[in-house]
Structure 1
């Protein structure tokens, strides 16, 4: 006689799995495709992160670098204070996508970090707990269309730098997003330089970039690694009309995808 088979609802299964340590989740990736894909959703990532906060399973990350055979290699050291309340090196995590420059770090958001290389459009969404990377597609930024009509197509894009950025969570659509600014340098036939700035927004859910109208403000050189609070991102701006060139605060709403000034 066969015993009756009892199956738990998937919602209950995910609730149980969200309370497990990362090592167990890594093993359970191989159980089925549904579990593997569910572990990558913003809802599960957020749920698992909050459960870790309750259990005080927190680590400290240090960004470091080393020289090996005359090559520059950045890496992170993950520190744990579980033994005698002293930080010890739990593991060293090398960054395979950033071999020659230390990336800028934005976050953390629900345990995730956004890594951005300023000189290129190279970026990554990183989960230090699982050591998994999600690589966004190449930048969607193109030459502003009005340049060709004004200058008769004489301007050539010679440089693009990706500086200021922010990484946050859009609770309205249950999606992680990255907003970043792109500084474009053009040169005309007379070797005169023209400068323009644009912004682009990345969606974790759709895995794509889209252009956002530039707010037209010059951001300061001050680096803010965690400038996104409750889905609103903030930057300091420069303005010659203000004392010490300190301008208003520029903000961006991840849900409405709009800039505003404070």
Structure 2
């Protein structure tokens, strides 16, 4: 090791999974300092995104609608051969949990309740470092006129190197309706109010959990896609004629079945103005052909992730679970994941996410997601 340059050592470390990096923090003070540094953490995340390494399929399952929730993960590096149980930090709470967003290894968990989300608890969780942080109740949820939140999501503000929760709520005061927007900053560990939501909601968005892509959160609304630029804290609208909203490989897509309901075209939303998320257009990126998915319901499929070499995508289908679709050979291969609970396509975004292993911290006041740490510390 003494003969190796530090640059070479860092390059090797950046290629390692999170579990190994957590162990190597104990090698020396310099190793610990380097692995914990913001530059290393961010570079490790970016490298994983570019190389499509460290991807995990995470799925929730519970024995009943209000029962405790278990989360399971399967590793893309292991060809999704088996699912392993994660330690849900909110499992001991009353009620079941849902995925309210995910980004760079972090998962935003929410508690399902019968109170229409009036005082819903949330936690930001990194299942790979096994640390979590309970999010304080948003101040808007304590107001007398507060009814519930329409939308929530977790995203990364690259301009300020901060992870933020965005919550859009409904407040009724003297028959006046308002939609205040509050932001929780993981860096400051506090809520603050942003601009009110002024776009037309009508019946609200169909999905509660926002999807993060290219610096913005997106919700599939009644009249189009509602976007929120996290760094600039501005809303914008994206028009779409049909299809539903998905994020694949960190980009925004809509799958649009053709008129004959056979092939499905996938349209990518791409920026037209130097990366400005509010300025873009749709372009057709690829097609899933009917003869490949003839046994599946093409109107109900959900793309989850690209394969490491980019020649296939993993699809969630309504009747046949997980399927690999190869672009070049136009072939399908059903994926059996032992131990993985079934995901219902009626509301898949709250039940699953594809995330990547990361060292992203949830704050100095975080907690371990299980009792095992207490045993270790007491030995």
What's the TM-score once normalised by structure 2's chain length? 0.50
Name the SS for the 1:20 alignment partner. coil
Residues 1:222 and 2:216 are matched in the alignment:
no
Deviating beyond 4 angstroms after TM superposition, the runs of 4 or more aligned structure 1 residues are 5-9, 11-16, 28-34
Q: 1:177 aligns with which of 142, 150, 164?
A: 164
Q: Who is 2:42 aligned against?
A: 46
Kindly state the Cα deviation for residue 96 of structure 1 after the two structures are TM-superposed: 2.4
Q: Who is 1:66 aligned against?
A: 63
Name the SS for the 1:47 alignment partner. helix
1:1-262 counterparts in 2 under 5 A?
Answer: 16-28=12-24, 35=32, 39=36, 41=38, 43-53=39-49, 54=51, 56-66=53-63, 72-83=67-78, 85-96=79-90, 98-107=93-102, 109-117=103-111, 119=117, 120-141=119-140, 157=144, 159-185=146-172, 195-217=177-199, 218=201, 220-223=204-207, 225=209, 227-237=211-221, 246-262=222-238
Q: Is the 8 A contact 1:74 1:99 kept in 2?
A: no
Kindly state the Cα deviation for residue 206 of structure 1 after the two structures are TM-superposed: 1.6
Structure 2 unaligned spans of 5+? 239-379
What's the TM-score once normalised by structure 1's chain length? 0.68
Report the number of matched residues: 227
Alpha-carbon distance in structure 1 between the residues aligned to 2:18 and 2:212: 26
Q: Is the 8 A contact 1:164 1:181 kept in 2?
A: yes
Alpha-carbon distance in structure 2 between the residues aligned to 1:71 and 1:249: 31
Shift in alpha-carbon separation, 1:126–1:75, aligned structure 2, 3 A: same
Name the SS for the 2:140 alignment partner. coil
1:172-222, CA deviations, whole angstroms, 9 ceiling, x for partnerless residues? 112222211122355x7xxxx664321101112222111112123326341
Shift in alpha-carbon separation, 1:65–1:234, aligned structure 2, 3 A: same
Alpha-carbon distance in structure 2 between the residues aligned to 1:100 and 1:40: 37
Shift in alpha-carbon separation, 1:110–1:81, aligned structure 2, 3 A: closer
Larger Rg: 1
Q: Is the 8 A contact 1:184 1:197 kept in 2?
A: yes
Greater strand share, structure number = 1
Kindly state the Cα deviation for residue 23 of structure 1 after the two structures are TM-superposed: 1.6
Residues 71-80 or 93-102, more deviating = 93-102
Higher RCO (CA < 8 A, seq sep 6+): 2
